[in-house]
């Protein structure tokens, strides 16, 4: 008797939790007559839908075209382990749908879409319909669908201060914009005032997926505060930015201020050990930044990465004995007029053109034994009076006028001539 009571209780509990029965689903046979296809769903009152594995003694293999389309009540769907195919626009327009639970046993799903035409600007445009178009899927759900073969790109989402999107290879997230208009309290545009934030601690994960890329221009403060993009233009980061572990790339001009008279306010940036690439101009014109530690996994400091950081005094590029062919890009620290202490570690093989040009406070530099190339005018118009090149350094490819307008003594000049430098001093 107790066994029967338990079975009845379990049935009632499942029905209560999901509020659905087999009769909520209308079905037909698959084309090979081996499974069931859900052709429609009649219960429009439930937010959580669990699609059965068996209906009328057949495994549920397909969800048909447009079965749940525009059902705005649905917030969560649990798929059966038997599922093989999701039909055209099956969940399209379910704008409150956030999570789709996919059993681990499902390694791939066939997503059926149709090519349709619509009229745009007086002409017919062809486009593919989407199975999950206009849904609000969490990033972890997006990854799960991508891993099973979902063919379409997901749109960006606003989360807190950030606009975020799944990377094309769905291995992580890219922050495309800092400054969500719904999260910041902006003053009247006529006052030209800004929202001030002391510290920014970028989250390492959002909705269960790691942040891997800080996108190009994502934190940039434009020249003109009266620009159309007032949401990002009117933010002043006052103190510190912490970029979390897991981030591998900082995109082009991500934190730059392109203005010659106006720069970002932060004085320090904490970079993660996972960082590999700092792209072109990522921190250019950050005029209050005073020191930087470059992690040992960074293989490329891009062109103009820290250009015209006028208060930057110290740069420490950490060593990594596992990495060679690390590059300091063209103009990476040019016009950093207060830079007086630079540590260039073993593993750096190339210093690009103008890399330390016009660093007037830089008086001494020690090159690593791994250096093979120094670009055109790399140290021109700097304050160099001393350069140390280990005797074990091999042949160096010198660019033109690397040390133009420096203050080397004659013995140092003679040593550089001996090593093959032919430019001016």
Number of C-beta neighbours around residue 206 at 10 A = 20
Q: Say if strands 249-250 and 277-278 run parallel, antiparallel, or are unpaired.
A: parallel
Pairwise CA distance, residues 235 & 31, whole Å:
58
Output phi, psi for 416, to 5 deg. -65, -40
Pairwise CA distance, residues 356 & 336, whole Å:
8
Q: Which helix (H) or strand (E) holds 8?
A: helix 2-18
pLDDT at 388: 95
State the chain's maximal CA–CA distance in angstroms. Answer: 103
Q: Cβ distance 353 to 377 under 8 Å?
A: yes
Q: Helix or strand or coil: residue 5?
A: helix
Pairwise CA distance, residues 72 & 61, whole Å:
24
Bridge partner list, 127: 116
pLDDT values of the chain reduced to their tens digit, one per residue, 425 residues: 444 444 434 343 344 345 688 899 999 999 999 999 999 999 989 999 999 999 999 999 999 999 999 999 999 999 999 999 999 999 999 999 999 999 999 999 999 998 877 666 677 767 678 999 999 999 999 999 999 999 999 989 999 889 999 999 999 999 998 876 555 544 444 444 556 788 999 999 999 999 999 999 998 754 444 344 444 445 678 899 999 999 999 999 999 876 544 456 789 999 999 999 999 999 999 989 999 999 999 999 999 999 999 999 999 999 998 988 999 999 999 999 999 999 999 999 999 999 999 999 999 999 999 999 999 999 999 999 999 999 999 899 999 999 999 999 999 999 999 999 999 99
Pairwise CA distance, residues 249 & 380, whole Å:
29
Q: Cβ distance 232 to 264 under 8 Å?
A: no
Pairwise CA distance, residues 167 & 158, whole Å:
15
Q: Cβ distance 184 to 161 under 8 Å?
A: yes
Cβ neighbours of residue 405 under 8 Å, at least 6 residues apart? Answer: 380, 381, 425
Output phi, psi for 141, to 5 deg. -70, -40
Pairwise CA distance, residues 258 & 220, whole Å:
8
Pairwise CA distance, residues 365 & 372, whole Å:
16
Half-sphere exposure (Cβ direction) of 223: Cα atoms closer than 13 Å: 3
Cα torsion angle, 15, 16, 18, 20, sign: positive
Q: Helix or strand or coil: residue 242?
A: strand
pTM confidence score: 0.87
User: Which of 161, 253, 256 is CA-nearest to residue 211?
Assistant: 161
Pairwise CA distance, residues 92 & 335, whole Å:
53
What the chain holds in terms of domains, given with CATH numbers, is 22-147 (3.80.10.10)
Q: Helix or strand or coil: residue 62?
A: strand
Interior angle at CA 321, CA 315 and CA 325, nearest 5:
75
- Rounded to whole angstroms, what are the CA distances from 391 to 226, 235, 374, 394, 416? 56, 50, 17, 8, 12
Q: Helix or strand or coil: residue 397?
A: strand
Burial of 172 (0-12, 13-18, 19+ CB in 10 A): buried
DSSP 90: S
Pairwise CA distance, residues 267 & 199, whole Å:
10
Q: Helix or strand or coil: residue 24?
A: helix
DSSP code per residue over 149-212: T--SPPPPEEETTEEEEE-TTSSSEEEEEE--TTT--PPPGGGT--EEEEEEE--SEETTEEEE
Pairwise CA distance, residues 65 & 157, whole Å:
26
Cβ neighbours of residue 391 under 8 Å, at least 6 residues apart? Answer: none
């Amino acid at each position: 008797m107790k066994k029967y009571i338990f079975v009845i209780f379990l049935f009632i509990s499942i029905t209560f939790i999901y509020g659905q029965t087999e009769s909520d689903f209308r079905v037909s046979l698959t084309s090979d007559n081996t499974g069931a296809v859900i052709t429609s769903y009649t219960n429009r009152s439930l937010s959580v839908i669990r699609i059965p594995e068996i209906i009328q003694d057949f495994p549920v293999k397909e969800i048909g075209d447009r079965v749940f389309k525009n059902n705005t009540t649905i917030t969560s769907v649990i798929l059966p382990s038997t599922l093989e195919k999701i039909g055209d626009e099956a969940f399209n327009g379910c704008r409150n749908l956030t999570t789709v639970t996919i059993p681990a046993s499902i390694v791939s799903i066939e997503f059926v879409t149709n090519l349709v035409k619509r009229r745009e600007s007086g002409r017919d445009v062809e486009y593919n319909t989407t199975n999950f178009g206009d849904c609000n899927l969490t990033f972890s759900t997006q990854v799960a669908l991508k891993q099973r073969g979902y063919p379409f790109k997901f749109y960006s989402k606003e989360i807190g201060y950030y606009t975020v999107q799944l990377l094309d290879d769905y291995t992580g997230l890219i922050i495309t914009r800092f400054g969500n208009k719904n999260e910041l309290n902006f003053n009247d545009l006529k006052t030209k005032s800004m929202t001030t934030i002391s510290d920014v601690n970028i989250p390492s994960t959002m909705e269960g997926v790691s942040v891997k890329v800080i996108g190009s221009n994502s934190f940039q403060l434009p020249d003109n505060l009266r620009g159309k993009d007032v949401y990002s233009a009117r933010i002043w980061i006052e103190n510190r930015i912490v970029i979390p572990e897991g981030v591998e790339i900082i995109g082009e001009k991500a934190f730059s201020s392109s203005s010659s008279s106006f720069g970002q306010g932060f004085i320090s940036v904490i970079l993660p050990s996972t960082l590999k690439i700092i792209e072109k101009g990522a921190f250019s014109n950050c005029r209050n930044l005073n020191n930087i530690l470059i992690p040992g996994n960074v293989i490329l400091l891009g062109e103009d990465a820290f250009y015209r950081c006028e208060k930057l005094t110290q740069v420490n590029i950490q060593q990594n004995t596992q990495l060679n062919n690390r590059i300091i890009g063209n103009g990476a620290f040019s016009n950093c007029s207060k830079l007086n202490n630079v540590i260039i570690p073993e593993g750096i093989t190339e210093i690009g053109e103008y890399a330390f040009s016009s660093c007037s406070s830089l008086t001494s530099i020690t090159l690593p034994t791994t250096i093979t190339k120094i670009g055109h005018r790399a140290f021109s118009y700097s304050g160099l009076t001393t350069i140390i090149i280990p005797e074990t350094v091999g042949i160096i490819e010198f660019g033109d006028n690397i040390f133009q307008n420096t203050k080397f003594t004659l013995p140092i000049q003679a040593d550089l001539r001996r090593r093959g430098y032919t430019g001016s001093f």
